[in-house]
Amino acid sequence: MCGRFAISNPRFSRIEATLGTTFPEVRPRYNISPSQTIPVIRGSADGGDEMVDMRWGLIPYWSEEPKVSYSTFNARAETLAEKPAFREPFRSRRCLIPASGFFEWKTDAGRKQPYYLTGVGDGGLAFAGLWDEWRRPEESLLSCTIVVGRPNELVVGIHDRMVVILPEDAYAVWLSPRTSLHTVRSLMRSYPAARMRAWRVSAAVGNARNEGADLIQPL
């Protein structure tokens, strides 16, 4: 699963170049956790793409209150079309969640060691995501979830799940509501291990109150 990620670069050059759009700079953050506000890229009403802020932890539009009784910050790729909270967003409200890398914990001899996993180069990664809008006459709330699937050869030695990271040629296809679900499902495959790196980091990342570039530095 993915319960922490980082944004170490204020720009996402790879995503911007691929989509042909310039997005606002974002402030670096090194220990992003569920329920926090994060930048999300989605299709806009004019047919382009836009970056908007959303709460990490999807609130279905049909929820009676702007909260849920179960965890929705991750969505399993295998069951997106079945789960009530994710079924409609999977069909037509897909998004990209820009990031520099994410954290996973490896259990060894009863001890959990955090690892930072990132891409090769500094152009940024795009996580597959879903979004929804909870709305009432007096208020509204945009929220999202990160899709997780099977690990690649690098991650499998650390954790049995990993974020679905989309390759550049899948960005526009994933975002388009016109893409068939058959095609969308084919995009949720493991990101190539050869395009990733991983290293051990400080256990301090386990505390959501900790922040700073030292959290992604190799031990």
CATH code, domain carrying 91: 3.90.1680.10
Q: Please report the pLDDT score of residue 67 as a whole number.
A: 82
Domain that holds residue 45: 5-216
Separation between Cα atoms, residue 149 and residue 186, nearest integer Å = 12
Q: What angle do CA 84, 179, 124 make, to 5 degrees?
A: 90
Residue 146 near residue 97, CB atoms below 8 Å = yes
- The two structure tokens encoding residue 40: 């999300």
Length of the chain in terms of residues written: 219
Please give the tally of structural domains in the chain.
1
Which residues are known to be catalytic? 2, 104
Which residues, 6+ apart, have CB-to-CB distance to 186 below 8 Å? Answer: none
- The two structure tokens encoding residue 101: 């890398």
Per-position pLDDT tens, the chain of length 219: 789 999 999 889 899 999 999 999 999 999 999 999 999 999 988 889 999 999 999 999 999 888 876 789 999 999 999 999 999 999 999 999 999 999 999 988 888 999 999 999 878 999 999 999 999 888 899 999 999 999 999 999 999 999 999 999 999 999 999 999 999 999 999 999 999 999 999 999 999 999 999 999 999
Separation between Cα atoms, residue 205 and residue 211, nearest integer Å = 8
- The two structure tokens encoding residue 185: 């499902």
Which residues, 6+ apart, have CB-to-CB distance to 89 below 8 Å? Answer: 58, 130, 131, 132, 145
